Structure 1
Amino acid sequence: MESSRKFFPAIAILLLLLVATEMAPAQARECETASSKFTGMCMIQANCDHLCKTEGFKGGDCRGIRPCCMCMTQC
């Protein structure tokens, strides 16, 4: 009987951790890919964003040392 009292708090904490990890929402990762239609250097963010949306992506940004249009989507 005494040994079961020693393990009860440990079992309770383990169950709480298990429930907490199951209830936590999964975070969606974002992946990037270069736009297939954008040509030249990317200078205006709005143009890149619009073009990526027409290609079916979530949006886009100008990225890099020599800026190119990178489209974003959820992985």
Structure 2
Amino acid sequence: MERFSRPVSAVILLMLVLLATEMGPVAVEGGTTCKATSNIYKGLCLLDDSCDIVCKREGFHSGNCKGFLRKCVCTNPC
């Protein structure tokens, strides 16, 4: 039983780390661009154009689909 629980625990921990890195509310990249996950866009982000339109409605400069979970990420100059 112990042989089975160790790999399963490692996989769950890896998934949690991946999810945590995708869900950061605001990140600064290079000090010039601020990023935030869209509050309005729901579901998988498949089209950058749709994400861009939603982000502009939220008051951001632009937006595109990012990450493993395909979230709509809005950007603004900092």
TM-score (norm 1): 0.61
Count of residue pairs the alignment pairs up: 48
Q: How many angstroms apart in 1 are the aligned matches of 2:35 and 2:64?
A: 10
Using the TM superposition, give the Cα deviation of residue 74 of structure 1 relative to its aligned residue in structure 2, in angstroms: 1.1
- Residue from 25, 33, 44 that aligns with 1:41: 44
Root-mean-square deviation (CA), in Å? 1.0
Identity between Structure 1 and Structure 2 (%): 35
Unaligned 5+ residue runs, structure 2? 1-30
Q: Which is richer in strand?
A: 2
Unaligned 5+ residue runs, structure 1? 1-27
Q: Paired residue for 2:76?
A: 73
Q: Which has the higher contact order (CA 8 A, sep 6+)?
A: 1
Runs of 4+ in 1 over 2 A off after TM superposition: none
Larger radius of gyration: 1
